[in-house]
Every structure is written in structure tokens, then in C-alpha cells.
Structure 1
Amino acid sequence: MNLPTLNNQFENSLKLFIDKWSKLYSFSNKAIYSKSIVKEIFTKTDIQNLYNWKNGMKLSVLKQKSLDTKIITKLPIINAYKKSDTIELEAFKIEFKKVPAVWKIFLLHIIKPSKYPIYDQHIHRAFLYIHNGAWSNVRNTMSNKAKEEFYFEKYLPFIESQNIKDIKQLDEAFFAFGQFLNSQFYSVLSE
């Protein structure tokens, strides 16, 4: 399969890029995500399942404590946001200011999955690559502030400007491509 990389000319081939790279997406327990994300009202179990899915496994004791105290305790607020037509982002950021960036952005995604894409280092890396940025410097050790600045000031405006119909498919394409960039396979091809 000939896979586009979008470097320099992504405007003309974004749809093709998404179609091709999303087919290479692989993440465990996709059914858990699919079953919970469509709910109109979340239960504690739905939130738990979604964060276990995002984590790729059951949460560690510390992550579970963080989920319980910083997110699940605010389930009524989360469901109020879910019922609302829009989310006032500054109020959301204040309400969930103690939540780490990746989890905060994921919460935003699960509340409004057709508006807010998922964020992680692979998606960040893919975005920077197609925009000729310093993609090889992206690591999970970046500060929460840097992650949020990237997401809200660069990535989200880009997504909104593209009028993408299937945000999850875009997430899958960028995730797969970002993983590829971080793999030994990319380094072999770039020599």
C-alpha cells in the first residue's frame, strides 16, 4: 500500500492521508471505546472504561486515584457538559485544572467526540511532521502546559479549519502515522 505522508502538501491530500493511515491504526479493546463513547449520559463505569481504554490497560493505583478524585467525582458536571450544545473552554479548563493535559483533553473528547480530537504524543508528532515542525522532539515527558498550548492553539484550530467529518478516523490516522514516525521502520526509510 502506498501511504502518503502529507509533508509540504497536506491540504491536497488530507482526506487520502486519513483514509490510508487510519486503516493501519491498531489499539486494543476498540469495542470498549465504541460502546461507551455513544452514551448520552455517562456512568462511573463508562468513564472508567474509557480511561482504561485510553491507558491501554487497567489503571495503576496512582492513576486510578487521580481518576476517582479529579474526574469521576465531577460526573454531574461532565454530564451537564455532555448535554450542553457547546463547551466554554476556559470554564472547562478551570473546572479540570488539576487534571493532566492528556487526560483533560481526553475528557473533552469523550464529552464532545465529534468536535474535540484526542491528543497524545503520536498525534502531536504527526501534526508537526506534516507541518514541517520539529516532530522528532515530541516525547511524553513534555510539560502539561506545552501539551495544552499545542492542542488549543495549534491542533484544535487546524482541525476546525479542515471541516473533518469523522474526528475519530482522523485521530486513528494521526496516531498510526505518529507511531510510525517513532518506530525503527521510519528510521530505516529515512536513511
Structure 2
Amino acid sequence: MFSPTNDFATFVEHWSQLYDFNSNWESNYYKHIKIDKPFTHNDIMELFEWQSQAGLGKIRSAAIKDKIYPHLDYINDMKFEESLDLDVFNEKFKDVAAVSRTFVLHLIKPEVYPLYDQNVHIAYNFIHGIEMDLYDYPTKNETRLKFYFKKLVPFISANKGNIPMKKIDEALNTFGQLIKRNPKLKI
């Protein structure tokens, strides 16, 4: 469906159509991501529930309250700014795990910063012909953040055009899930 010589828009159109829109959690994204309104604590919690596609449990909920909620004013301020200083952002959220940190970045600028998880990582590597054991998904925050900022964000920025980021996220997530379930797959 996609190779460096093929059309990214075609890849996104095809794979985003296979995304599971019937998930019990999908409505949380659209209900709370509103670009024109500040986030509330409830918005943040329900968006994290959407991200995990499940209840968060006491430990993860407590971490969000301890590490994300204190920066809600900053998150809302940056949401309405033209640009975002990544050094300041990363300093404020230095104690937040990479996937949660990049998720907060996506919440602030959902058309600029993609979602990132194991499925997206697998999809990126497959698209780029990078051999990867499914257990090679980086576990260290620094490695995940380096991948996100040095590889994933530039790749998507270079290919995005007018495609909505949510559609790109849906395509990469769906494609990564397929590869994860069928690691020997050749497309």
C-alpha cells in the first residue's frame, strides 16, 4: 500500500478506513479535543482514557493528576499559541513517560504532533523497511523521544500535506496493529 515511491495520501486513505471507530472510547477524543476551548481536568482524564482504550486504574490516574494537572494552565496557554517551544515543554514534562508526554503534545497541537505508541512505531519501521522484532519497541523514554522527534514527526511533516492528523494516526495505528498480529506479513 505504501512505499517511499508510493503515495502517502493513498496509504492514509486506505488504512484509516479500517480504523475501529466503534470503540467505546472513540467518542472521548472528539468530545474533549475541541480546539477552540480550554481543557478541563476531566477533558485530560477522558482523553487519556481514550488513549489507553481502557480505564486508567488508580496508579495511572494518580500519575496524571500529579504530573499533568499541575500544568493545565500551561497546556491551555500553549493550545492557543501559534508555536510551542519544545525545550520548555520537555522541561515541564520531564518526569512524564514518553508516550504520555507525546500525547500531551498532541493534545496541545493535534494537527502538528502525531500520536505515538507501539503500533505507530511498528508501522513506521515497516513503511521504511526497517527490520524489527516486535519486542524491539524501545523501553527507554530517551529512545522513544528521540525516535518521535527525529524520525516520526519529520516523516509525517514531510508527507502530511492537507491530510488531517487524526486520519494519519488512524492509518498508522491500524496498519501497525495488522503488522503486530502478522509479523511475517509482506505487503
TM-score clears 0.5: yes
| RMSD between superposed Cα atoms in Å | 1.6
Aligned mate of 1:83, from 77, 80, 89: 80
Are 2:45 and 1:48 equivalent residues in the alignment? yes
Residues 60-88 of structure 1: CA deviation (Å, up to 9, x unaligned): 11101110000012111111111111111
Distance 1:127 1:55, change over 3 A: same
CA distance in 2, matches of 1:75, 1:123: 27
Q: Please list every run of 5 or more consecutive structure 1 residues that lacks an aligned counterpart in the other structure.
A: none
What is the rounded CA distance, in whole Å, between the counterparts of 1:168 and 1:77 in structure 2?
23
Alignment size in residue pairs = 182
Deviation at 1:126, TM superposition (A): 0.5
Give the Cα–Cα distance (whole angstroms) in 2 for the partners of residues 22 and 138 of structure 1.
25
Higher mean C-alpha displacement, 33-42 vs 63-72: 33-42
For residues 10-41 of structure 1, give each alpha carbon's deviation from its aligned partner in whole angstroms, at most 9, with x where no partner exists: 34221111001011112622111011111420
Q: 1:87 to 1:48 in 2, by over 3 A?
A: same
**Paired residue for 2:118?**
121
- Specify the code of the residue in structure 2 equivalent to 1:99: V
d(CA) in 1 for partners of 2:19 and 2:125? Answer: 19
Which 5+ residue runs of structure 2 have no aligned equivalent?
A: none
Per-residue displacement from partner, 1:76-106 (whole Å, max 9, x unpaired)?
A: 1111111111111111000100000000000
* Equivalent residue number for residue 175 of structure 2: 177
Contact 1:109/1:117 (<8 A) preserved:
yes
Q: Map Cα deviations across residues 97-148 of structure 1 (whole Å, 9 max, x no partner).
A: 0000000000000111011110001001101111111333455562111110
The whole-number CA distance in structure 2 between the counterparts of 1:65 and 1:30 is 23
TM-score normalised to structure 1 length = 0.89
Is 1:14 aligned to 2:8, yes or no? yes
CA offset digits 1:31-62 (Å, max 9, x no partner): 11011111420001100110011111121111
User: How far apart, CA to CA, are the structure 1 residues paired with 2:7 and 2:89?
Assistant: 34
Q: Distance in 1 between matches of 2:96 and 2:121?
A: 19
